[in-house]
Structure 1
Amino acid sequence: MLGVCRARCGPARRGATAPAYARRVPSGPRPLAPTYQQRRWTLPPDAVVHHGTVDDAVALLTGRTVTALTGAGISTDSGIPDYRSPDSPPRNPMTYEQFVGDEAFRRHYWARNHVGWQHVRRTHPNAGHRALATLEAAGVVRGVITQNVDLLHEDAGSRHVIDLHGRYDRVVCLTCGRVISREHLAERLTALNPRFLEDVLGERLTVADIEVAPDADAVVEQTSHFVPAPCELCGGVLKPEIVYFGETVPRERVERAYAMVDDADALLVAGTSLTVQSGLRFVRHAATSGKPVVIVNRGETRGDPLATLKIDAGTSETLTALAAALVGG
């Protein structure tokens, strides 16, 4: 998974927002990648990590402008599970090759996404998202680079956001490049599969009672009868506008992210294990440039040895405390 990212875009633009992950796949080719549990990275025993507190972070960041880099951990308090916390279930990432090359994989993905999307679109920003928006409004945060596809930073009021891996609310045709809203596709999928949601829910009260991953992939076992929707314009294959495992983030987006890091005096990392190169490269870039790096995350991250300061805590309470100290209120 190193050197590639997850998912949110289609071949027309080759990249975009978040990966399509499926814990189980239909009969057919075996998954091409090991589970996230197997991919978890651990710090070498001789690694030096500079742990600290919110007060230490305040002292380090006072008088400095900041670029924020966020991951799935910042959205857990909004009800969206992360990928790599100790209690997260193992997941097999669906690759771009699987999605475009096998109709069974596409059917499996869209069936699960049709369920999970109903949950993710109803989530709301939490205190961590709002704290970063507050810091941006005060001129402390230059912008946010997020590995998430949930758009909660934008919903919280952040104006300068780079959705590194794309966005879950758009769908692209791999043949003609037409982009449509995920809401419009949901209407079509419901029409093609009129009782699917009811059958999946069964006795459960809401979609929230079903396990859902950060990219809106819900744990649904029976998907072989699901009918995906083709492009209305050309009949081509539709794909979420997210960067899948096996795809790369569009170069233009990466360059904008580097420029955002360069534009600030420090880098604040929140809610990501930095396991994949997609996010870690910005931490390396900031550290190499001599910029202070503050990491806020529960548990180890791959960037800990590069951090000027590591705070092992939740993002909501920590970012709220930072905002209160740096801008008041």
Structure 2
Amino acid sequence: MRVSVPTIPHTITTSGIPRRTISPAAAVERIADFLAPGNVTLLTGAGVSVASGIRAYRGKDGRYMNPNYQPIFYHELVDESEKGFAFRQRYWLRSYLGYPPVRDALPNTSHYALAALQFTSYIPHLITQNVDGLHHKAIAHLWEPHRIREHTLELHGTLHRVHCKRGHVVPRDIFQDWLSASNPQWKAFVDNLERTGQKPRTNPDGDVELEGVSYADFVVPACPECMLEGERNSVHKPEVIFFGESIPGQMKDRSFSDVERSGRVFVLGTTLATYSAFRLVKRALELRKPVLLLNVGPTRADELPGVEKLEISSSLVLRDAVRALLGSQASQDPTIVHLLQSGIHEPPPEDHNIISNETST
């Protein structure tokens, strides 16, 4: 399965069908009732991380908020020709600037509410399209890394690790240090951003919007491990599934297994424009499993019979839904109390900076 640039059918985004609004109180009751039987597989998307300051790709109308969005495809990133070298300069400069806001983002109230559902075993399987690692952060103080990996599947990978074309893996923070050492002028620029509290307009994949910036002088460092083995290699890739790249078979099989072993599927904060996620909903429907979708704006599943949709933001209702579901445990269990009192709510302003040539020199 290759990941292509996600789209929502034009008939959905232009249908003009009024949204079926629901009150927070009614949404809380419906979500709690849906989750009550347990054994729920959760599928999340970029909308869950908006309250953590990470912008979603699409707005409430289902269209890209950045109409000039031009992702780099997998074959472009790994191309070893001169053209591929230029693509990697573009990708890594933009990602170098965009990664710190993603790295420093904190889980929001929805992440912690979902962590409470994981901790109480209502959600044994969580599948996320997000590469920001915020689901992991929300439960990291309760579960060991191996247990988090066992119950949380990052369908599209993670920004927090990088590997070279020969398979050497390095934590992203170390790779950021390599980029800083190779590009002191851009390191100074990043330091200035952090000093002034400015944040570039960053997509969920860590890519930033740049205007009038030359990529020609940006240095992508060679892999030190390859150098020790007598090879010079500067072809690096984050452990993210790029457009045009195949999702590993093992990951695909696990995602289907998580859906098939569940009693029902809860879909949260995603337009399902990416087929790798949309096909999981279709599989659940084929198996006649109940599907509840919570999202603001149109989604690819809006016309699918069997999908129940609530048009409301998770940040408005999810914590209260978990409290309603857990009853006295939500007020008496110290761990649950802490989780339901945790999380930020800091959505990004609509006027995030677009870096231009003037601001980078």
TM range (shorter): 0.7 to 0.9
Partner of 2:85: 103
Post-superposition shift, 1:47?
9.1
Aligned to 2:236: 238
In the alignment, residue 124 of structure 1 is paired with which amino acid? Answer: L
Per-residue deviation at 1:166? 0.6
Shift, 1:42, TM fit: 4.3
Percent identity of the aligned residues? 34
Q: CA deviation at 1:172?
A: 0.8
Are 1:69 and 2:43 an aligned pair? yes
SS in 2 for 1:162: strand
Structure 2 letter corresponding to 1:268: F
Within 2, Cα distance between the matches of 1:218 and 1:256? 31
Aligned length: 296
Kindly report the root-mean-square deviation, in angstroms, between the aligned alpha carbons of the 2 structures: 2.5
Deviations 1:27-79 (A, max 9, x none): xxxxxx7xx7xx44345559999876422233333223211000111000000
1:262 to 252, 260, 263: 260
4+ long deviations beyond 6 Å: 46-51, 200-204
Contact 1:43 1:300 in 2 (8 A): no
Question: For residues 317 and 308 of structure 1, what CA distance do their matches in structure 2 show?
Answer: 21
Determine if contact 1:72/1:271 at 8 Å carries over to the other structure.
Answer: yes
Q: Is 1:153 aligned to residue 152 of structure 2?
A: no
Q: How does 1:208-247 map to 2 (within 5 A)?
A: 208-221=198-211, 222=213, 223-234=215-226, 235-236=232-233, 237-247=235-245
The CA distance in 2 between the partners of 1:310 and 1:98, in whole Å, is: 37
Give the match's secondary structure for 1:304: coil
* Aligned counterpart, 2:356: none
Structure 2 residue 168 is the aligned partner of structure 1 residue 178:
yes
- Report the equivalent of 1:89: 66
Residue segments in structure 1 that go unaligned for 5+ positions in a row: 7-32
In structure 1, how many angstroms separate the alpha carbons of the residues matched to 2:295 and 2:2?
Answer: 22
Q: Which amino acid aligns with 1:63?
A: P
Secondary structure of 2:71's partner? Answer: strand
Distance in 1 (alpha carbons) for counterparts of 2:162 and 2:189: 25
Give, in whole Å, the separation in 2 of the partners of 1:165 and 1:76.
18
1:262–1:238 CA distance, 2 compared to 1 (3 A): same
- Bigger shift: 265-274 or 212-221? 212-221
1:88-137: CA deviation from partner (whole Å, max 9, x where unpaired): 21211210111122111100110111111111110011111111110111
Mapped to 2, the partners of 1:245 and 1:177 lie a distance apart of: 20
Deviation at 1:202, TM superposition (A): 6.4
SS in 2 for 1:97: helix
Quote how far apart the aligned CAs of 1:204 are.
Answer: 8.3
| 1:202–1:178 CA distance, 2 compared to 1 (3 A) | closer
Specify which structure has the higher proportion of helix: 2
CA distance in 1, matches of 2:323, 2:200: 36
Q: Which moved more, 1:232-241 or 1:288-297?
A: 232-241
Q: What are the equivalent positions in structure 2 for 1:1-329 lying under 5 Å apart?
A: 4-5=2-3, 39-44=7-12, 45=15, 53-54=26-27, 55-85=29-59, 86=61, 88-90=65-67, 91-101=69-79, 102-157=84-139, 159=148, 160-174=151-165, 176-199=166-189, 205-206=195-196, 208-221=198-211, 222=213, 223-234=215-226, 235-236=232-233, 237-306=235-304, 307-328=306-327, 329=330
Q: Deviations over 1:224-249 (max 9, x none)?
A: 22111121122221111111100011
For the Cα contact (< 8 Å) 1:67–1:264, is it kept in 2?
yes
- Specify whether residues 67 and 50 from structure 1 end up closer, same or farther in structure 2 by C-alpha distance, changes over 3 A only: farther
Partner Cα separation in structure 1 for residue 108 and residue 90 of structure 2: 31
Cα distance change on mapping 1:60 and 1:42 into 2, 3 Å: farther
Larger Rg: 2
Amino acid across the alignment from 2:188: E
Answer yes or no: is the 8 Å Cα contact 2:269–2:296 preserved in 1.
Answer: yes
Separation in structure 1 between the aligned mates of residue 94 and residue 197 of structure 2, nearest angstrom: 11
Aligned AA for 1:313?
A: I
Amino acid aligned to 1:82:
A
TM-score by length of 2: 0.76
Worse overlay, 265-274 or 94-103: 94-103
CA distance in 2, matches of 1:155, 1:204: 22
Give the alignment's TM-score, normalised by structure 1: 0.83
Equivalent position amino acid for 1:228 in 2? V
AA matched with 1:83? Y
Q: Which moved more, 1:39-48 or 1:114-123?
A: 39-48
Q: Structure 2: which 5+ residue stretches go unaligned? A: 141-147, 227-231, 331-361
Q: What secondary structure is seen at the aligned counterpart in 1 of 2:30? A: helix
Partner Cα distance (1:82, 1:43) in 2: 22
